[in-house]
Structure 1
Amino acid sequence: MGTGGKPADDGAAAVPGGVRAGLAIHGTGNCPVVTASTAHDGPITGVNWTHAGDTHTEEFRARDPDAVDRAEGVPAPTSVVDLGDERVYRYDRPRNGRCACRIVEELDCPIADARAEDGVLVLTLHLPDLDRLRDVVSALDGTAELVEVRYLVQGAARGDGASDRTLVDRGRLTDRQSEVLRTAYRMGYFERPRDANARDVAEALDISPSTFAEHLATAQRKLLDETLAEN
């Protein structure tokens, strides 16, 4: 017998999980902001851009104007406004070539935040699922020397409509463990059926299969410790 209240809607749309990912893109080569960051003390922030005709304009904020002015191998920046503790600059360059941010945008993925530090471009993306993240990483592989997922926050909707978010911090992994995971992933070790077996991946890494298995197990355990930890 009803109580007069509004009945529950069992057919309500599910709350999307989605992911928030932080990508560190190493070795982009053709980004003047990233190049300028190698001479800058601390991160260059507020990186954004626009296209007008054949011109690509990048704007950014820097706390050390002298470092930006003396950066080598980049066009002379234009100072737009002095904000006291930092200054806003712009670079104008031809709209050609393949830059990392443009590749991400061409995948219909807005960039939530972009900054550069020590020659590394760091992007924050909000994506519908992990498959989309894989698409982004794969597309960037042809432009960058290394694409690193620094952190991943995944939201999975529970039956009550609440979100169960998991933070995965790859900073817990050693460089070697990251390399093992990355190589195994790229070679299709985690595919079903597998595109490469343990021996194939070990040979690519120039290590023994037993050493590969040890690194892989340790890396997976670290990530699972965070993913499956009780709150």
Structure 2
Amino acid sequence: MTGFRATVVVREPADCPIADVSATTDDPITSVTRSRVATDGTVVEEFGVTAGSSVETVDTSTQAELTSVQATDREEIYRFERESAADCACEVIERTGTPLSSVRAQNGSLLLTFRTLELEEIANIVDSLRARFDGVLVEELTQDHEDDSSDRVIVDRDLLTTRQREILETAHELGYFEYPKGANATDVAEELGIARSTFTEHLAAAQTKLLDALLEE
């Protein structure tokens, strides 16, 4: 049996305390755990940051109360509670029946990793996220094999319009896809001389074409 492992970046998650905190810290947040209280639907989350980070002074968009639960010389663990929300990127994925393998945050973005058996499932998840959030991109897509044989797919670059290729190339050159980011959406849009919304629309369209090419039998 083979399967796929995907990491999807949500650059503008709505009302996410963990993403808000990651925008103020130098190091990424890599240890995120969640638990749902069955009686009232409250979600309890914990995350770790490098020791010495000024988390207490962060004014999160949700006004969540962050409580320090553990501190060592290397890491500090914080906990907060929130109501189950339809606009939570993690819950959008989990409502499709796909569990998350890991949740990370860096520079205000969420990096959500999950596994599926079919590429179509990844496309559906990306569509669901894009229906609620801006700046949703597939950062990594890999496939596991039973043996060492490869499964090569040739993608015709002519599938992309000249403008879409220019936007992808400019975003790549400016470091838009890197972590930490070398440029944000506004920076790339300014370099191209277009509106930020136009940039994100072209980028999403280009990525959809590339993903569709991978899905073809």
TM-score bracket for this pair, using the shorter chain length: 0.5 to 0.7
Length, aligned pairs only: 169
Tell me how far apart the structure 1 counterparts of residues 74 and 207 of structure 2 sit (CA, whole Å).
Answer: 43
Which of 83, 94, 98 in structure 2 is aligned with 1:94? 83
| TM-score, scaled relative to structure 2 | 0.68
Going from structure 1 to structure 2, the CA distance change for 1:85 and 1:176 (only over 3 Å counts) comes to closer
Amino acid at match of 2:82: R
- 1:121 is displaced (CA, Å) by 0.2
Task: Please name the residue that 1:5 is paired with.
Answer: none
SS at match of 2:101: strand
SS at 2:139's partner residue? Answer: strand
Structure 2 letter corresponding to 1:47: V
Deviations 1:168-187 (A, max 9, x none): 9xxxx53558965631465x
Counterpart of 2:139 in structure 1 is 150
1:174 to 169, 177, 182: 169
Matched residues in 2 for 1:79 and 1:50: separation?
17
Question: Displacement of 1:143 after TM fit?
Answer: 2.1
CA distance change for structure 1 residues 32 and 165 in 2, over 3 Å: closer, same or farther? farther
Contact 2:4–2:143 (CA under 8 A) maintained in structure 1: yes
Corresponding residue to 1:126 among 109, 115, 122: 115
* SS class of match (1:49): strand
Which of these residues, 195, 205, 212, is aligned with residue 183 of structure 1? 205
Alpha-carbon offset, residue 22 of structure 1: 1.3
Aligned AA for 1:182? A
What is the CA-CA distance between 1:102 and the residue it aligns to? 0.6
1:63-142 equivalence runs, <5 A: 63-73=50-60, 74-142=63-131
> 2: CA distance between counterparts of 1:133 and 1:189?
13
Identity of aligned residues (%): 27
Please report how far the alpha carbon of residue 106 of structure 1 lies from its aligned counterpart in structure 2 after TM superposition. 0.7
TM-score (norm 1): 0.64
Question: Could you say which residue in structure 2 is the equivalent of 1:210?
Answer: none
Structure 2 unaligned blocks of 5 or more: 154-167, 178-199
After superposition, what is the alpha-carbon deviation per residue over 1:4-23, rounded to whole angstroms, capped at 9, x for unaligned?
A: xxxxxxxxxxxx22111111
**Given that residues 17 and 129 in structure 1 are in contact (C-alpha distance below 8 angstroms), is that contact kept between their aligned partners in structure 2?**
no
Q: Separation in 2 of the partners of 1:167 and 1:92?
A: 45
Amino acid at match of 2:169: T
**Alpha carbon RMSD of aligned pairs, Å?**
3.0
Task: State the structure with bigger RCO (CA 8 A, min sep 6), 1 or 2.
Answer: 2
Give, in angstroms, the shift of residue 130 of structure 1.
0.8
- Asked whether 1:39 is paired with 2:39, we answer no
Give CA deviations for 1:131-182 in whole Å, capped at 9, x if unaligned.
0100110111122112111111123x5xxx52545699xxxx5355896563
**2: CA distance between counterparts of 1:100 and 1:56?**
14
Displacement over 4 Å in runs of 4+: 165-168, 175-181, 188-191
Q: What letter is aligned with 1:34?
A: A
Matched residue type, 1:145: D
- Structure 1 residues 165 and 47, CA gap change in structure 2 (3 angstroms): farther
Q: Which residue of 2 aligns with 1:61?
A: 48
